[in-house]
Structure 1
């Protein structure tokens, strides 16, 4: 669909600007440095924002010139150019990342990356990673080697809308008698309104939900919009400025970008208003160079090395993240200076080859005219889908799920049963046997419960009482007709016990209630959110107040407090951050306050000590090629033991009963990744529903229930 043609239909042309290539070089180098761990550029991630402004500027400039020359906007031509520009290299890197993950990462990693690849191919990576980032149960998982594709998705979602909006404006102008040229007034009005609205949304959403805002197209669109506005006004404004004035603008813009790179960090709430610093800086550089090189700074951006890096910038951006992430996950340790430098060098080699043999050939409109260029997209989808299918099969094969390795039993654990004095309690005995099996490097059982490749999705159902989403429902479970009740109060480490308490309620005749909000520890101290900047989390305080009020009304026979320690940022009653050396004391006092309050509102209170946490993800270890059970035997994380000790100390100080489940998951300071044929943990610290449910009898006896 196009507007009426009143001028010869020639292809749009954009004058090459060396300063823009230099700005691209700055953007990609800062991003790579930040991700490689260069200490003096903690805010180098703002290079992505610089890219957004450049992209908004160049693509809009191209569309404007097309309208000026031809009086129309060719959507097919626009999307053909986008396809030639982004699809070949992006598809190559996606396929290479899948192959590298199959070779060097675990089967469960590969399965996750397969999903990431599909989301990325449909330009919905930002939506996907926002959902993953805001899912508490997924936050402990390592970053995906395809996570950086979120920015491509933001751009393409923006460009799905912007050319159509411009086309509508051109058509409306034509109907009102404007026969040719760009309707600058309406275009400026739309861009100003959309940019300001997006900026306002970015500031508001960054303050309330930073993780979602970071990946959000509405929260990022203003950055592309400001680039588009700069393209609209640059020819007129820059032409009226002296060389000295434009040089000052360029220096100011570069200074703002540098300021963001050195002053910002992961703790900076972003994008929000903070993003205005690098975004405005980028717009100033683009504006300054619109009438020729802007003094010495402009000429410096045009030197040959900057041009080369600018030419390679797209490939550099695509390659650097998977190279760094896969290498770090393969060595299972921080890369350090030497390894990070080697990864960056490899990135430059791969990018040079990709630019020469992939980007350049596919950009040719002669080799790939409009129809053939548009066909690149279904071709890319087909390639990635086929590779994803192969990756899914290979993950199942390499995980050992298709093998026949036997489960651990009390008679099959790699040692002579008569030579080992196992506990009389069968649950504890099987834990001991599983530790011994791991010490003897037994093969990982092939048939595991729950499924090894989907264990991370193994979460207890909470029905309408999903307090993670601030529900205020009260949901009776277990035996809903019983005249006695049990309440579980805590965070996700209380939620994980739901299968056990559901069984107890049904079998013994208790109505069960679960006031459990992920990440919101039970200790009565205000916590910061797990967000950039760790803002005070009022919703957690509100939930605990609601839960304690409900407990008082229910007057339960038993309240079980089950929780992990609080977030690392705590606030006092006046809303001030508590110093690091006061965190443990504040957490302990919060537990004391909790147990004291429950003593007056519940007939009986028991602390169910938190289970030990693992430093690593067990499913990753269990699906790494050639690993045995011994490779995945782990020791409790010291910090989790300390957090649990604080809660126990507070319970003992208030005369509150304590039940310690450690013996059901560990023995002699070591914890097996497989107990019998069951995966006890779904991640670093949460029990699986299968294993939690199997402990119902143990809990029943430990709590003295009947």
Structure 2
């Protein structure tokens, strides 16, 4: 479900932005930085070993830090304001980064003091504390969210949420969302109600590896603070470099991967090591550091936005700011920032911040998904506020009892047994929902796309054209054929719908599975030859995913007519000679320009008798180092399209431009899953589905370049309003792409236009 990651209104990704404290605050007595390991033997205060001397040097910081509760409050407030879409807080996603730094500081402080005092780290005791602290509240939130999703979401959505729930329960959801976000096919889908678990997964992965790394370092090269700081600094720098590089070339992975987030926790860890040693700031320096750090956090929360390449270099501002605020609070004299952060309301909000993080996102997302529409800002604000008392109850009656062992005790074995039980419960709920929610069309019978023959496809499509949508009117067109009466009851989802709703997302052209349709980072297309590969009659398909959707039709024609079909398509990269601003990369889409040049060279070498191109027009253009205003984009696009058509005309026997298909105003599989008895509820008025002005412009550009033009409107939208089912064929797999099955059914119509 994200995508393009974390953008308001973007899919999937939904707001890539929320996270919680890994070590969310509890009662003051239990939120100390230096709470000793449960199984640690007491060390005599008179001992004079190097380890205890070093430990004694850090005693000034072995105290409760109320300002960190306040800093958590700042972080969760930024997250809430961002997710509520409150104007002016477009960079509120940096609350994630603040939490990461706090977590790195607190956890490393505990681990280093264990090393100083005992010479080792009790991994079992550490993991048990983390499990008691985090798992119970997370498990309850997961189960409740899964059950609420089953009640509120469409059947085809529940399976996806169940999968996300299983990943969240295993703390690998960040990897899952990275995989989804890099897939352009996820565009247009609603954000997962469990998207926010990505950051919990990052922190749990940190908790799993970091103590073991410190223990290994201590045993291998020594446990002096200088050695530990050197190792931490090396990890931090390497992670920061990876973050900066990947943000430019693979933004979703840069955002979600633990490798690119480790430096944020690592910087907090460095502060902890220095604090355990001799780091002490003078009063004036501490005040300046606190003010500068808080200003950096606030400035990032206000100044950044969804178009900022992130994390990358931009993340250094809130991360360094958080480290400065933490370092400023090491002394005993409170400055203005410390006084602000320690006021009672801030401390209380920070204390419940973990539970508030867990609950606020499902509360915001699920009502909108159930309504099938985005909520206004005031609605999102109200829901965010509603999450506060729920979080307070969770903190009091779930977090605290488990954290202090009142329910399961302190012994690691009992803790691990309880943790396994909680994870098993989440897994059972997730797997059960996934199995029970696999929806089928109509009465449960479904035909697989691969099992329907071309003859059946033609018959099903012709049958559909013979019947107007219930309550609608036919759109006359000489190209529409009609034959037999309808095979399904009007108004209902056909019992033998192809593909069935549960499989609609996966009804893709084969080029999505064999590497021929390139993803955003890729620039070199493989051979990708189909049909009669030795034929001298070469046709080429060229363009973005809106060109790729025509591959099934062209492959069918190539196989039946002995053509050699070369497929050259790439996600979010039009054939038109224009430079695109990538919303996922947050920069100029240079990979698109590079791929287009190589594709044009390949086409020239192929000497095709026919080139078919098609593009989406929903792009933000980039020219001369700046975004192109929408008012100027049309002319720039038409010029680029004309150049591409002219270049192709010089090397091909014929060039044909297929206009963009009508767009559904709903997500058809989801809508039909909600309204199985009323398909008309999912149809889109032609005035909204069609962009007649753009089609007219493209027809004119094609004529000027002596290229053919095909308007697919009558094939896809044969009635008013535009249907999402024609006969027993599902038209769309999402709002803007045809199912592979439906595209294959259009092969003969397309052939008539290509001759």
2:416 paired with 1:374: yes
1:253 to partner: Cα distance: 1.4
Please name the residue that 1:362 is paired with. 402
Contact 2:580–2:622 under 8 Å retained in 1? yes
Of the three residues 451, 457, 472, the one matched with 2:500 is 451
Report if the CA contact (8 A) 1:431-1:666 is conserved: no
May I ask how many residue pairs the two structures share in their alignment? 683
Match status 1:460 vs 2:509? yes
1:254 aligns to what? 294
Encode CA deviations 1:157-209: one digit per residue, 9 max, x unaligned. Answer: 112211011111232367xxxxxxx5212101101111111111111111222
Match of 1:606 among 633, 656, 664: 656
1:41-440 alignment, distance < 5 Å: 41-172=89-220, 182-237=223-278, 239=280, 241-292=281-332, 294-365=334-405, 367-368=408-409, 369-396=411-438, 400=442, 402=444, 429=482
Distance 1:382 1:132 in 2: 25
SS in structure 1 of the partner of residue 662 of structure 2: coil
Moved more, 284-293 or 131-140: 284-293
What is the match of residue 646 of structure 2?
596
Match of 1:489 among 532, 542, 564: 542
Q: Secondary structure at the match of 1:658?
A: strand
After TM superposition, give the deviation of residue 33 of structure 1 in Å: 0.7
Q: CA, structure 1 residues 399+229, in 2 after alignment: closer, same or farther (shift >3 Å)?
A: farther
Q: Distance in 2 between matches of 1:404 and 1:567?
A: 36
8 A Cα contact 2:658 2:709, kept in partner: yes
1:313: how far off? Answer: 0.2
Q: Is the 8 A contact 2:101 2:319 kept in 1?
A: yes
Contact 2:666 2:682 survives alignment (8 Å)? no
Shift of 1:8: 4.0
Residue 525 in structure 1 maps to residue 578 in structure 2: yes
Please report how far the alpha carbon of residue 29 of structure 1 lies from its aligned counterpart in structure 2 after TM superposition. 0.9
CA distance in structure 1 between the aligned counterparts of 2:677 and 2:386, rounded to whole angstroms: 28
1:28 aligned to which of 76, 94, 99: 76
What does residue 31 of structure 2 align with? Answer: none
The 1:413/1:596 distance shift into structure 2, 3 A limit, reads closer
1:86-125 CA-to-partner distances (Å, cap 9, x unmatched) read 1111111111111111111111111111111112122111
TM-superposed deviation, 1:617: 1.1
Which of 577-586 and 94-103 deviates more?
Answer: 577-586
Alpha-carbon offset, residue 627 of structure 1: 5.6
The answer on whether the counterparts of 1:410 and 1:430 sit within 8 Å (CA) in structure 2 is no
User: C-alpha displacement at 1:411, in angstroms?
Assistant: 11
- Who is 1:549 aligned against? 601
Q: Structure 1 residues 542, 585: CA separation in 2 closer, same or farther (over 3 Å shift)?
A: same
Unmatched tracts of structure 1, length 5 or more: 175-181
When residues 379 and 478 of structure 1 are mapped into structure 2, their CA distance, relative to the original with a 3 A threshold, is same
Asked whether the 8 Å contact 2:441–2:494 carries over to 1, the reply is: no
Q: Secondary structure, in 3 states, of the residue corresponding to 2:437?
A: helix
Indicate if the aligned counterparts of 1:49 and 1:275 stay in contact, CA closer than 8 A.
yes
Distance in 1, Cα, partners of 2:325 & 2:415:
32
Structure 1 window deviating more from structure 2 (516-525 vs 388-397): it is 388-397
CA gap 1:114/1:629 in 2 versus in 1, 3 angstroms: same
Partner in structure 2 of residue 475 of structure 1: 528
Distance (whole Å) between structure 1 residues aligned to residue 145 and residue 271 of structure 2: 36
Using a 3 Å threshold, how does the CA distance of structure 1 residues 501 and 390 change in structure 2: closer, same or farther? same
Partner in structure 1 of residue 619 of structure 2 = 567
- Deviation, structure 1 residue 300: 2.2
Is residue 98–residue 114 contact of structure 1 (8 Å, CA) maintained in 2?
A: yes
Shift of 1:690: 0.8
The alpha-carbon distance between structure 1 residues 332 and 365, as it changes in their structure 2 partners (threshold 3 A), is same
Measure how far apart 1:51 and its partner are.
0.2
The answer as to whether partners of 1:293 and 1:299 remain within 8 angstroms in 2 is no
SS at match of 1:16: coil
Structure 2: stretches of 5+ with no match in the other structure: 1-36, 45-54, 448-459
Instruction: Please list the CA deviations of residues 307-338 of structure 1 after superposition, one character each: whole Å capped at 9, or x if unmatched.
Output: 21111100111111111111222223332243
CA distance in 2, matches of 1:431, 1:150: 52
TM-score scaled by length of structure 2: 0.85
Question: Displacement of 1:575 after TM fit?
Answer: 4.5
User: Scaled by the length of structure 1, what TM-score is found?
Assistant: 0.90
Look up the SS of the partner of 2:541 in the other structure. Answer: strand
State the distance in 2 between where 1:399 and 1:15 align.
Answer: 61
| Residue 562 of structure 2: aligned partner | 509
Which residue in the other structure is 1:179 paired with? none
* 1:375 to partner: Cα distance: 2.2
Q: CA RMSD in A?
A: 3.0
Q: Tell me how far apart the structure 2 counterparts of residues 308 and 421 of structure 1 sit (CA, whole Å).
A: 62
Distance, in Å, in 1 between the alignment partners of 2:483 and 2:615 is: 25
- Relative distance call for 1:606 and 1:361 in structure 2 (3 A) is same
Structure 2 partner of 1:697: 748
Distance 1:481 1:652, change over 3 A: same
